[in-house]
Amino acid sequence: MITLHGFPTSNYYNIVKHALLYKEIPFQEHLIFTDNDKLLAVSPVGKVPAITTDEGVTLSESSVICDFIEEAYPDIPLYPESATERAIVRQIMKIAELYFELPSRRLIPYVFSGTQAPDTLKQEVRQVLARGIPALNQLCQFSPWIAGKALTMADIYMHYVNVVVIGCASTQLDWDVLAEIPGMKEWNKTMTQSDIAQKIEADRVANMPEFMTHIKAQIQAAQPK
Ligand SMILES: N[C@@H](CCC(=O)N[C@@H](CS)C(=O)NCC(=O)O)C(=O)O
């Protein structure tokens, strides 16, 4: 059985968890935080998520894991059949990660510490998001799913990318980024209402106190002595 390593407050962890649940692949969760050195044994850069496959192979990087589980467990597909359509799905995932998630993520420490990020950083984040918005406007179809008629991995990926975008841009940039992409908010609400997303959200909320304990310890350790 697959083991999913990480913690349920991680949006990247939840991408993989959602895909595993959607594809009805049996898996067990191994709760491990990023301050645990043992994470390096399954994730070379010490980031979450990672999986251990049925064969005992460890894999990290959410998009790589998503590709692996699709290829190894094709019965309930999350990518279209044609190579071109698959590439379009991956293009949306990549742009969502590079131009939406990663810039927003830079603001997370300030969100957690309840402080405001420096203006220079806010400006850098705004500039990257401003490139992602027209790109996603061009690529996302919402008819009714992101890449067309069928729900794909791009829907799952974008939904958990949006968790970070919403959480950071509203508080740090005073910017309703999702509103810049017509259809995105309605689609995101539909995604939130799915049984799988509801289960993942319940697990996230339950994990929050333990996660905050780890985060506070990390923030304290980083303070100048
Ligand atoms: N590119 C990685 C990013 C994963 C990631 O950033 N995970 C966060 C938790 S949501 C993490 O492990 N952060 C710890 C760190 O950056 O040291 C992926 O797609 O899996």
Q: What is the pLDDT of residues 85-101, one digit of tens each?
A: 999 999 999 999 999 99
> Once rounded to an integer, what is the mean pLDDT over residues 159-182?
97
Tell me, in angstroms, the distance from the centre of ligand 1 to residue 82's CA. Answer: 30
Q: Which CATH number, 3.40.30.10, 1.20.120.1810, 3.90.1720.10, 3.40.50.300, labels domain 2-77? A: 3.40.30.10
Confidence of residue 84 (pLDDT cuts 50, 70, 90): very high
Give the Cα separation of 4 and 156 in Å (integer).
17
Which atom of ligand 1 is closest in space to residue 65's alpha carbon? Answer: 20
Q: What is the pLDDT of residue 1?
A: 95
Residue nearest to ligand 1 atom 2, measured at CA: 61
For 132, the enclosing helix (H) or strand (E) is helix 119-139
Closest to 84 in 3D by CA, of 158, 147, 155: 147
The preferred substitution site among 15, 18, 47 for testing ligand 1, maximizing ligand atoms within 8 Å of CB, is 47
Which atom of ligand 1 is closest in space to residue 34's alpha carbon? Answer: 14
Confidence of residue 201 (pLDDT cuts 50, 70, 90): very high
Give the Cα separation of 95 and 135 in Å (integer).
8
Q: Is 11 in the pocket of ligand 1 (CB under 6 A)?
A: yes
Q: Is 34 in the pocket of ligand 1 (CB under 6 A)?
A: yes
5: helix, strand or coil: strand
Residue nearest to ligand 1 atom 11, measured at CA: 47
Residue nearest to ligand 1 atom 14, measured at CA: 47
Closest to 10 in 3D by CA, of 96, 154, 108: 108
Q: Which CATH number, 1.10.10.10, 1.20.1050.10, 3.30.230.10, 1.10.540.10, labels domain 83-193? A: 1.20.1050.10
Q: Is 58 in the pocket of ligand 1 (CB under 6 A)?
A: no
The preferred substitution site among 5, 7, 11, 12 for testing ligand 1, maximizing ligand atoms within 8 Å of CB, is 12
Tell me, in angstroms, the distance from the centre of ligand 1 to residue 68's CA. Answer: 18
Q: What is the pLDDT of residue 224?
A: 73
38: helix, strand or coil: helix
Render pLDDT for 114-135 as a digit per residue (tens, 0 to 9).
999 999 999 999 999 999 999 9
> Once rounded to an integer, what is the mean pLDDT over residues 172-181?
97
Domain ranges of the chain: 2-77, 83-193
